[in-house]
Structure 1
Amino acid sequence: MPIRNQIEAVVQTLTGSPTFIYGTANELNQLADDAAFPCVFMYPLQPIDISPQVNGSVNNTFSIYLEFLFKTDFDEYTSANETYVNQALALANEFIVKASKYREGQGRYFRIKAGDKAKCLPVYNKFSPERGGR
């Protein structure tokens, strides 16, 4: 089963039940037209590191790129969007906590390593028609 299915399962447990969409930047730009917001976009995984462990198992390490999106009006000032940025950060925090607790069968599916950092960047009007989006 693709890893995106487990990530989608975590997203579906987030506050407000955001929509989950997976695909490339071009696909997401088109899918944004009909998306229900809030929405979590997931881009394909790159790269995936595979490392053997002492106990004979294998760890797969990968980074995920998620966008936590809210619908805003194009003519709003940055200060008017701070509420959405705070809501997106809260969803990102909630995602990390819930992913670290997510279980499939008997084992934990994700291991969030202490000290790893999630990078967040507020972006405005990414999929607006005025900016060449759809």
Structure 2
Amino acid sequence: MPIRNQIEAVVQTLTNTPTFVYGTANELNQLADDASFPCVFMYPLQPIDVSPQVNGSVDNTFSIYLEFLFKTDFDQYTADNETYVTQALSLANEFIVKASKYREGEGRYFRIKAGDKAKCLPVYNKFDVNTTGVNLTITLATMYFDSFS
């Protein structure tokens, strides 16, 4: 099952149940036209680190790039949109906490350690529909692995 399914499952538990949209930058710009907001946009996975382990398993670490966006008016100034940035940052923080607790089967799906760094930047006037919020770049390590004999 693609990791985006687990990301979408976490997004669906967030406050106000934001819409989840996945695709390339061009696809997301088109999909944003019909999306309901707030919305979480997930871009294709960045590099995936594959780490062979001594027990015959392989650990995977994913770099995830998400945008937490609210629809805004075209004539608003940056200062008028600060409230959306604050709300989007709150959603991004909530996502990190809920991703670290997300369970599939008997255990947690992702490993996020205290002190792991994630980057979050304000985003203004994104896409043709005009949205504002924050982007989040975070590394997620999966707790489950495949063992080959």
Output the TM-score relative to the length of structure 1. 0.91
Q: 1:103 maps to what in 2?
A: 103
Unaligned 5+ residue runs, structure 1?
none
> Within 5 Å, which residues of 2 pair with 1:70-109?
70-109=70-109
For each residue in 1:29-58, what CA deviation from the matched residue of structure 2 results, as whole angstroms up to 9, or x when unmatched? 000000000000000102001112344432
Higher share in strand: 2
DSSP-derived class of the 2:71 partner: coil
Return the offset for 1:126.
Answer: 1.0
CA distance in 1, matches of 2:129, 2:91: 26
Q: 2:42 maps to what in 1?
A: 42
Q: 2:6 maps to what in 1?
A: 6
Q: 1:16 maps to what in 2?
A: 16
Write the letter of the residue equivalent to 2:124. Y
Do 1:42 and 1:67's aligned partners in 2 also have CA atoms closer than 8 Å? yes
For each residue in 1:55-95, what CA deviation from the matched residue of structure 2 results, as whole angstroms up to 9, or x when unmatched? 44321111100000000011111111111000000000000
Unaligned 5+ residue runs, structure 2?
131-149
Return the offset for 1:105.
Answer: 0.5
Q: 1:62 maps to what in 2?
A: 62
Write the letter of the residue equivalent to 1:44. P
CA distance in 1, matches of 2:126, 2:27: 14
Do 2:46 and 2:65's aligned partners in 1 also have CA atoms closer than 8 Å? no
Q: 1:127 maps to what in 2?
A: 127
Q: Which has the higher contact order (CA 8 A, sep 6+)?
A: 2
Write the letter of the residue equivalent to 1:11. V
Do 2:45 and 2:63's aligned partners in 1 also have CA atoms closer than 8 Å? yes
Do 1:74 and 1:128's aligned partners in 2 also have CA atoms closer than 8 Å? no
> Among the aligned pairs, what percent are the same residue?
88
Aligned residues: 130
RMSD of equivalent CA atoms: 1.4
